[in-house]
Chain A
Amino acid sequence: MRQVLNIAYYESLHVFKDKIILLLILLVPALYTLLFGAVYFSAVLTDIPLAVVDLDRSGLSREVVAAFKNSPKFKVTGEISTYEGLQEGMKTGAVRAGVVIPENFEKKALLRRGTEVLTVYDASNLIWGYNTRKYALEVINHFSTGRTAAYLAGLGMTEREIKGVLDTVSCNLDVWYNPTYSYTTYLFLGLVMMIIHQICLLGVSLTVTREKDRNSWMQYIGAALPRWKIFLGKCLPYLVINFFNYVLLLWLSARLINVKAGGSMGLIVLLGLLYGVIITSAGFYFSARAPNSLQVTRYVMLLSVPLFIISGYTWPMTHIPGFVEGPARLLPYTWMAEAIRTVTVKNLGFGYVRGAILALSALSVLSVLLAVNFDRRRKPPRAGGPVINSGSGYPQEGP
C-alpha cells in the first residue's frame, strides 16, 4: 500500500505541475456548470413573441385576442397586422407564434356557420414548437370555458349553477416531479453528469500516454511492479478529484442554478462512486492503449455528443431502436443519467434504481478488470508508409 500511495502522490505532483490539466480538472467543470446554469437559468419559456392578425375587429375577436394577451406566456407584438406580415415575421424569427382571426368571424360564429381561429407556431425548433402548442391550448381551454359560462349565463343560469355544470367533469392534470415544466430540472443534471464524464476521462486518459510521450513509461514496465499497483496508484488522485467535482457540481446545481435536487444522500454518494470508478478505469484503459496524448485527447473529446443523444436522457429510450439501445446500455452514462434523475428529481428510493446500480456495479468490475490487465510489453510499430503523430510524441515547441 505504501507503494500505491507513493505512486498516487507523484501522480498528483504531475497534475499539479501541469497548469493546464490542473485548470481543466479543477476549474473547467465548475465553469461549464455555471455557464450552462446561466443558459438554462430561466427554466421556462415565457414572453413568446406572438403576432395577432385580427381581420374581423369585432367584440368577439377582441375577446380572443385578450385571452392571449392575458397569458403570461405570450407577448403580443403590435407591429404585425396582416397575414403576410405574420409569414414574414415567422420567417425571420421576429415572432414565434401567431393567431389569425378571419373576416366576418363574429358574424359567422353567432350564426354557427363554420369559422375558426387559426393558431400557428414555429416548429422549426421543437422546444419553441411544443411549448407554444401547450401554452396555446391552455389559453384556448381557458377561453372556451369562459365562453360556455357566458352562454349559460345567457340562458338565465345563476353563477352557482354554471359552476356546478362546468365542474361536473373536471379533469385534473397533475404533473409529477417537474410541475413547472422547468427545462433546467429536466436537462441540467444530465449535462452535469456529462461534464463529469468528459473531464474525468480527459484527465485520466493522459496518465499513461504522458509517460509514453516522455519515455518514462519504461520506468514502470521495467520495474517489478504489479499491474494493480500501477493502476491503483495512478487512478487514486483522479478518483478523489472526480468525486470532489461530483459533489461540488451537484451542490452548485442545487444551490445556484435552482435545479430540483432531493433524494437519498446515500444513493447519490453510491452512484457517484460507482460512476467515478468506471470512468477512471475506462480512462486508464484508453490511456494504456493509446499511442500518445494527442490521439487519446481527440477521441475522448468526441464522445460527449453521441453518448448524450443515445442515452435516452432526452429523446426517450422507448422511441430508440434496439440496435442503438443495446450499445447504449453498455455505457455508464446511460445508466447514470437515468439513475440520477430518478434519485434527485423524482426523489425515489433504492428499489427504483436497483437495476442501474446493478448495471453500474457490473460495469465497474468489468472496467477495472480491463484496465488492470493492461499490456506491460510494448508492441513494435506496424508496417506502413510514413505516419505522423501516431507514435509516442506529438508536435510541440522546443524548450
Chain B
Amino acid sequence: MITQCLSIMRREIFYLWRDKGLRWILIAGPLLGILLFYSTYSRQVLKDIPTAVVDLDRSGSSREIIAQIKNSEDLEIVARPGNFDQLEELIKQGKIVVGVVIPENFAENVLLGRQARVEMILDGSNMVYATGATGALLKITRAAGARAGIKTLVARGVQPDQARNAYQAIVFREEPWFNPTLNYAFFLVVALALNVWQQCCTLAACMNIIGETGLNSWRQVKAAGISRFKLFFCKSLAHIALFMLTVLPVYVLAYAVFNFPLHCSFAVLLLFTLAFAVALHGVGTLASSISRNAVDATRFGMIIALPAFILSGYTWPLEAMPQFIRHAVKILPQTWFFQGFNFLTFKNPGWGFMSDYFLALLIIAVACYGTAALIFKVKEM
C-alpha cells in the first residue's frame, strides 16, 4: 500500500522532472522572481524624489525654503532651472516630479505683509511618486507658512512670543505601524515572488489529470485496475510537496538572507503556505479535469492565476473595490492567501483571527477536488 503510493509519487516527480519546460519553471521561476524583484526594489524606500527649484528671489527667506526641501528625506533637488518655462519643460519630459517656484520679491513681500505665493507643482501621473511627494510638500508648506506668518506678525507689531504661539498650535506626531520606514521592498518583494510562485505551481497543477489521461499510457493505468482515488491522491501529494520545496528557497532568501521582517513564526508561515498550496492545487486539478488537452488546462488555470494577485486586494485594497467584486474574489484561494500573508508577516494577529483564513482555504480545496472528481467520473463513463 505504502510502497505503491511511494512508487506513484516517485514516478510523478520523474514526470515533472522530465518535462523540461516545467522543470525549469518550477526550479528557477520563483527564485528568479524574488531576485529580480529584490533588485528592482533595492532602493527599498521612496526617498530622493527628483525635484527642481526655481528661486527668483535669492533672499534669505527663499533659501530657507530651499534648505527645508534639501532637508526633506523625500525630496532631492536635481535641477535649478532659471525660470518657470524651463521647469515646466522638465516636468513634461519626466525628468523631475516636483517643481517649486519661489517668486520675485518673495522676502520683501513677506516683510511688507503683501501676498507671496510659493508655487508647487507635482506630476501626479505616477501615484508612487505623487503620494510620497505630497506628504513631504504638505509638511514643508506648513513649516514655511508658519515661519513667514511669524515674521509678518512681528512686522505688524505683534510680540514675538505671541506670534510664535499663534503658530505653535499643536504638535502632531505620525507613526506608520507595521512598516515604520514605509519600505516598499518589505511590502512588495516577497508578495510578488509568491505571485510568480503560485503561477508556476498552477502550471504544474494543471497537468494533474490531463497529463495522465491524455497520454497513451493511461491505458496501462486503466488495465492495471488501480483505484483512481489512490492514484490521484498520491500524485497530488507529490505535487504539493514539490510546491512547498520550491517556495522554501524564496522564504529563506527573503527572511534569512535579505532580512525582511517576519512577525509570525516561520513554522506558522509554512503551515499557512501549505494550506494555500493544497487549495491552489485543487484549482489546478479542477482546470485539468475539464480540459481536453494540456494546453487548454494551462490556459484555464492561468486565466485564474494571472489576475488573482490584483484581485486579491494585496495592493489596491479589497475595501476600495465594489461590493460584488469584494465578495466574488473570495472564491479564489489567492485572495485568502495574499490577505493572510500580509496579516501574518506584518501583524501576526493570532490564531483566532487566522483560523478563518485556514478554514477558507480548506473549503476551497475540498470544493475543487470534489468537483474535479465528479467531472472525472462523468467523463470516464
Contacts and interface: CB of A to CB of B under 8 A. Distances in A.
A60 B320 CA distance: 32
Interface in B135-190: 135, 137-142, 144-145, 147-149, 152-153, 156, 158, 162, 165-180, 182, 184, 187-188
B91 A176 contact: yes
B196 A302 contact: yes
Contacts of A309: 36-37, 40, 192
Interface residues of A, number: 120
B177 A298 contact: no
B213 interface: yes
A345 interface: yes
Contact of A120 (B118, B144, B175, B346): B175
Interface of A: 20, 24, 28, 32, 35-36, 38-42, 45, 47, 49, 60, 64, 90-93, 109, 112, 114-131, 133-134, 136-138, 140-141, 143-145, 147-148, 151-152, 155, 164-179, 181, 183, 185-187, 191, 198, 202, 206, 293-295, 297-299, 301-302, 304-306, 309-310, 313-316, 318-321, 323-324, 338, 341-342, 345-346, 348, 352, 385-390, 394-397
A351 to B, nearest CB: 9
Interface in B322-346: 322, 324-325, 342-343, 346
Task: Rank and list the top 3 A-B pairs by shortest CB-CB distance, nearest first.
Answer: A395-B214, A396-B293, A178-B124
A186 to B, nearest CB: 4
A183 B127 contact: yes
Interface of B: 15, 18-22, 25, 29, 32-33, 36-37, 39-43, 46, 48, 50, 91-94, 109-110, 113-132, 134-135, 137-142, 144-145, 147-149, 152-153, 156, 158, 162, 165-180, 182, 184, 187-188, 192, 195-196, 199-200, 203, 207, 210-215, 292-296, 298-299, 302-303, 306-307, 309-311, 314-317, 319-322, 324-325, 342-343, 346-350, 353
Nearest to B168: A112
Contact of A134 (B135, B148, B293, B321): B135
Given A173-B120, A302-B196, A319 B126 contact: no
Contacts of A114: 171
A177 B349 contact: no
B347 A90 contact: yes
B145 to A, nearest CB: 5
B317 A346 contact: no
A38 B50 CA distance: 33
Given A117-B171, A117-B172, A306-B33, A318 B117 contact: no
Contact of A45 (B307, B314, B317): B317
Given A171-B118, A315-B184, A128 B153 contact: no
Contacts of B124: 175-179, 181, 186
A183 B21 contact: no
Contact of A181 (B131, B187, B199): B131
The DSSP consensus for interface residues of chain A is helix
Contacts of A341: 125-126
Given A168-B110, A394-B214, A395-B211, A141 B177 contact: no
B149 A169 contact: yes
Contacts of B162: 155
A124 B196 CA distance: 20
A84 to B, nearest CB: 14
Given A174-B119, A301-B199, A395-B215, A124 B174 contact: no
Given A122-B178, A171-B137, 18 more contacts: A42-B322, A64-B170, A91-B353, A115-B171, A122-B176, A129-B179, A144-B142, A165-B156, A168-B116, A168-B148, A168-B149, A172-B117, A186-B125, A294-B294, A301-B302, A304-B306, A324-B36, A396-B292
B39 A120 contact: no
A172 B311 CA distance: 37
A133 B174 contact: yes
A85 B194 CA distance: 32
B120 A394 contact: no
A240 to B, nearest CB: 22
Nearest to B169: A147
